[in-house]
Chains A and B, each alone.
Chain A
Amino acid sequence: MRSVRVDRPAPYPPRISAATRPFWDALGDERLTTTRCLDCGDTTFPPKPICPNCFSTQLSWQSLSGRGTLYSYSRVWAGPEVFGEELPYTVCVVDLDDGLRLGSRLLDGVEPEMGKRVTLVFVHYTDATLFFFESEAAMKNES
């Protein structure tokens, strides 16, 4: 999986709490993780201090593959003021091979295609790391 460095702070960085610090620390180390319930085995995204399936608070951290398929996307031309410098950009919904869905951003480059394979890209801003995706077709073009 690729990583990209961006020489400015994230437009709207996440808050980091005691409960979510393991996630953001792992992401900074280029691993995507989430919580898994020790009682029922259910996984959830984003990670949470409670299992939304059985309300157990006995949880462990688990690594995710970072690979999946593109469920949908949209190119945003009018965005919040704080994202002004990044416009236009493409938001997306990705279904991970691990059976979890998440919202993210598609790296620019290749025209997105519905249902096609996508892979995580770690985007290191100066103050936070975020999880973007790019199409696997785009990676082949580069190599």
Chain B
Amino acid sequence: MRERVAVIGIGATPVGRYKDLLDHELLLEAFAQAFKDAGVRKEDIGGLVFSHPRTYTKQRYFATFMAGYLRMQSSATVLEVVGDGMTGGFAFDKAVDEILLGKCNVCVALGVSMETQVPSAEHMNLTMRAVGDVDFQAPFGFTPISWYAMDAVRYMHEHGATREQLASVAVKNRRHASLNPIAQYKDELTLEEVLNARPIVEPLGLLEVPPRSDGAVAVVLSDLETAEKLDRPYAVVRGRGFFHEGAHQISDKPNSMIRLEAAREASRLAYEDAGISAKDIDLAELYAPCTIVEVLASEALGLCPEGQGALWAKQGETALGGSIPLSTSGGLLSRGHPPLVTPLYNVVEVVQQLRGEAGERQVGGAEFALTSAELGNYNAALVHVFGKAG
């Protein structure tokens, strides 16, 4: 079996609201960009792994429809993967598998997530059935982010973190987004604006929870030999880790809701696979729909000291120029959050960083970068460690 896989091409549409494009048309924009970026021939592509689209995407059997649309024959795989917030991450991970197993030399992970056709309250009629037991939790009115809000209350209670510290994550990420051409929100924010935003799930207000976003991404992967021959900059997948804690939203056996055990274990496995430690990571793109989630994940992944993630954000340690830049793209709060492809957007950002193509967002001398994907209340985590080519 092969040992490593390269990321040789990336394509992503700006995150935003698309009204005049159909779902697959938006995806084709990203796909065409990634194909051109990779510099491979059509016949080199062996497999297509799609993130399963939302139920609002009218075209079903989406993967096979797209294979037909692109007139793509394949002896490796054409399929859609599903994994809630991890969906895009699993698409990427499955494409890595196809190459490691030798089923093909080039595989594309891609997807589109169209969210904005449906108003938020109507959309929550659907998502409330995902983030909890339909019979024993949904009847109380939990929303996806209400669980993170309870994390925030608990974190402030246990660690004495302040609202200002948490809110500073949103200010920092907006500043990063102002430097990212594909970000949904680019106008800088003040701490006061974040703190005074209307409440959504207390203590979190409108600017500390994710926006509604559409977007599409394609990422081209290959074996290292193919990547070398192409003679273009590429990134290498150095390590992977996955862990499910065996709980959905909360464990019925009381434990810490804010330690994010799955992220701890998944990152331990990924660092071990890569032969590095958390200290070697130069930047990270986290799946963090709310300010508090970035704080909790940064601690669980070993990137910030325990109980000090919020303080580090306030002190600028997690900003560009700080000791461990987080969400250099602007993150889910400001780059935007089309959930099913958010993990693929995170891959795009770290690949740009490792290729030295992140412009004003560039983290100087970046050697190793990390992405995380999650679902529920970080009940499961999928972590990838990327390194520079060579």
- A residues near B, CB below 8 A? 10-15, 20, 44-46, 71-84, 86, 89, 91-93, 95, 99-105, 114-115, 128, 130, 132
Contact with A along B98-116 (1 / 0, CB 8 A): 0000000000000000000
For residue B358, CB closer than 8 A to chain A, the reply is: no
For residue B83, CB closer than 8 A to chain A, the reply is: no
A95 contact from B124, B249, B254, Cβ within 8 A: B254
A-B contact list, 18 entries, CB within 8 Å: A12-B138, A46-B136, A74-B146, A74-B202, A75-B202, A76-B201, A77-B199, A80-B124, A84-B121, A93-B250, A100-B253, A101-B250, A102-B250, A103-B142, A103-B249, A104-B140, A105-B141, A115-B157
Cα-based distance from A12 to B199 in the complex (angstroms): 23
The A contact surface, by secondary structure, is mixed
For residue B32, CB closer than 8 A to chain A, the reply is: no
CB of A79 within 8 A of CB of B202, answer: no
Q: Check A91/B150 contact, CB under 8 A, given A79-B141, A100-B253, A101-B252.
A: yes
Central interface residue in B134, B139, B146, by most chain A CB within 10 Å? B139
Which stretch in B125-133, B171-179, B368-376 binds the other chain?
B125-133
Contacts of B257 in A (CB 8 A): 71-72, 93
Q: Check A72/B150 contact, CB under 8 A, given A101-B253, A102-B252, A103-B249.
A: yes
A115 CB to nearest B CB, Å? 7
A83 contact from B127, B141, B198, B251, Cβ within 8 A: B141
For residue B3, CB closer than 8 A to chain A, the reply is: no
A114 CB to nearest B CB, Å? 5
Central interface residue in B146, B149, B198, by most chain A CB within 10 Å? B146
CB of A14 within 8 A of CB of B135, answer: yes
A139 CB to nearest B CB, Å? 20
Chain B residue, CB-CB nearest to A15? B135
For residue B154, CB closer than 8 A to chain A, the reply is: yes
CB of A103 within 8 A of CB of B137, answer: yes
B146 contact from A15, A91, A100, Cβ within 8 A: A91
B250 CB to nearest A CB, Å? 6
A72 contact from B122, B138, B153, Cβ within 8 A: B153
CB of B252 within 8 A of CB of A93, answer: no
A63 CB to nearest B CB, Å? 16
CB of A73 within 8 A of CB of B150, answer: yes
Chain A residue, CB-CB nearest to B141? A83
Cα-based distance from A74 to B150 in the complex (angstroms): 5
Chain A residue, CB-CB nearest to B133? A46
Contacts of A84 in B (CB 8 A): 121
9 smallest beta-carbon distances between A and B, as pairs:
A74-B149, A80-B124, A14-B135, A72-B150, A46-B136, A75-B202, A81-B121, A83-B141, A72-B154
